[in-house]
Amino acid sequence: MSRKKKKAAPLQNITIESYAAEGKSIAKLEDGKVLFVDNAIPGDVVDAVITKDKKSWAQARVTKLVSPSPQRIEPFCQHFGVCGGCKWQMLPYSQQLVYKQQQVTDQLSRIGQVELPEMLPISGSPRERYYRNKLEFTFSTARYRTFEEIEARDEKFQQEPALGFHAPGLFDKVVEIHTCYLQDEPTNRLLTVLREYTKARGLEYYDFKKQYGWLRNVIIRVATTGEILVNIVIHHEDEAERVALLQHVKENVPGITSLNYTINPKMNDTIYDQEVVCWFGKDHIEERLENFRFKISPKSFFQTNTYQAETLYRITREFAGLTGTETLYDLYCGTGSIGIFCSAGAKKVIGIEVVEDAIKDAKINAEMNGLTHCSFFAGDTEKVCTDAFFAEHGRPDVIITDPPRAGMSEKLVNQLLKMRAPKVVYVSCNPATQARDLQLLDAAYKITRLQPVDMFPHTHHIENVALLELR
């Protein structure tokens, strides 16, 4: 005999009191339990249903906006609240920045528990829309259905194909995207051309559960130089259909300077280990930050908001305080962008990155900019930075570290404590893991400057730059 899980009773007229973190807001129930609510802002009064219930806290989903907060504005995107991106469109951008600065302050003080200087004002993005230089869309046999769609009818839906973004938390469902405000044209034009052509030709979209189908992803990079790179990812080779598809895109989407394809037969979408084939144009595009040129290949990492990357790097360079005599180490250097951007003030730049392809690009970028005092090395920092390496290349006077969201490994933190560079500039895309690392570095370093930088308007994501100086 099957037992259906009892549905939690809906909550009514819940007042949202404050902002938490990670895009959630907070309400308190009568019994004192803390309620974390998605898609709500302080001042809202909502009806909600609990989705996760713990002893002292719960998570909830809004089912009805009873009374909107005075801060709330009308979202500008038709996909708001469904696709999972741009979750803060209902907040004025100025207020988003207030909450983001609060998030950094709260996480550094609560998690880091170290002495903090007065934080500099957050630097907002010069563009609030069309700021991303890279987007990836997915072809799927399963269009995501909203709660409202499902509740509006009793019978089971027929499965529909979709081209868009993965639905939040669902690997096999995709939200159909018609107009996206994250990236400049020709992105929306390309989506329309691909959708109309592939459906007219009856081309199979990929089924993530059954692991079959042909069309998998399309990756689009749009540079401020005007160059455009497109990479269409398919599951297996079908030369006649592939050539016809690429030719159709080339003829109907103007401005593409690099048109590529990748065959990915794996069960997951990652293509770092797959060959990218250039079918038309150059095999890369070029980006610029100030007067520096950067080669961006289909698999390169580059700061996603080029317009704000200059600001982030200028703050990093200012915090580093280079005078022309220092040996600068750039850890997690990727394709060398931060080290190269700061190179004019350094006697020598040493970049270290575990991804070998990124180091190849970093060396090309240094050469493109005529820099002979920048050297890049592939490997784990704790393995590369030996006494023999220091004897050959010099010990660091300044270290810049820009790790992924997981932060630095404890081994690397211990390595920094041993290296004892006079200054460390820590660029973070996750203040929570940065706070954890700063607590460990507190054994030898004092935090002297802090400045948040917003790279992703309308999301909860925030970067933070911290200057640490040896005690």
- Residues marked active site are found at 429
State the Cα–Cα distance between residues 323 and 346, nearest whole angstrom. 7
Side-chain-side CA neighbours of 380 within 13 Å: the count stands at: 9
Angle at 456 between CA 400 and CA 283, to 5 degrees: 75
Exposure string over 386-400, b if 16+ CB within 10 A, otherwise e: eeebeeebeebbbbb
Residues 6+ apart with CB under 8 A from 420: 444, 470
Q: Peptide bond before 186: cis, by omega within 30 degrees of 0?
A: yes
Structure tokens at 160: 């529909």
What backbone phi and psi angles, to 5 degrees, belong to 332?
A: 55, 50
Would you say 246 and 277 are in contact if contact means Cβ atoms under 8 Å apart?
Answer: no
DSSP 6: P
Q: Which residue has the tokens 């609990």?
A: 50
State the Cα–Cα distance between residues 404 and 49, nearest whole angstrom. 34
Q: Which residue has the tokens 């290949």?
A: 297
Angle at 84 between CA 83 and CA 86, to 5 degrees: 100
Structure tokens at 386: 């030996």
The total number of residues shown for the chain amounts to: 471
State the Cα–Cα distance between residues 460 and 84, nearest whole angstrom. 12
Full DSSP string of 74-115: --S-TTTTTSSS-TTTTS-HHHHHHHHHHHHHHHIIIII-S-
Full DSSP string of 397-449: SEEEE---TT---HHHHHHHHHH--SEEEEEES-HHHHHHHHHHHTTTEEEEE
Would you say 467 and 120 are in contact if contact means Cβ atoms under 8 Å apart?
Answer: no
Residues 6+ apart with CB under 8 A from 243: none
Q: In this structure, how many other beta carbons lie within 10 angstroms of the beta carbon of residue 267?
A: 7
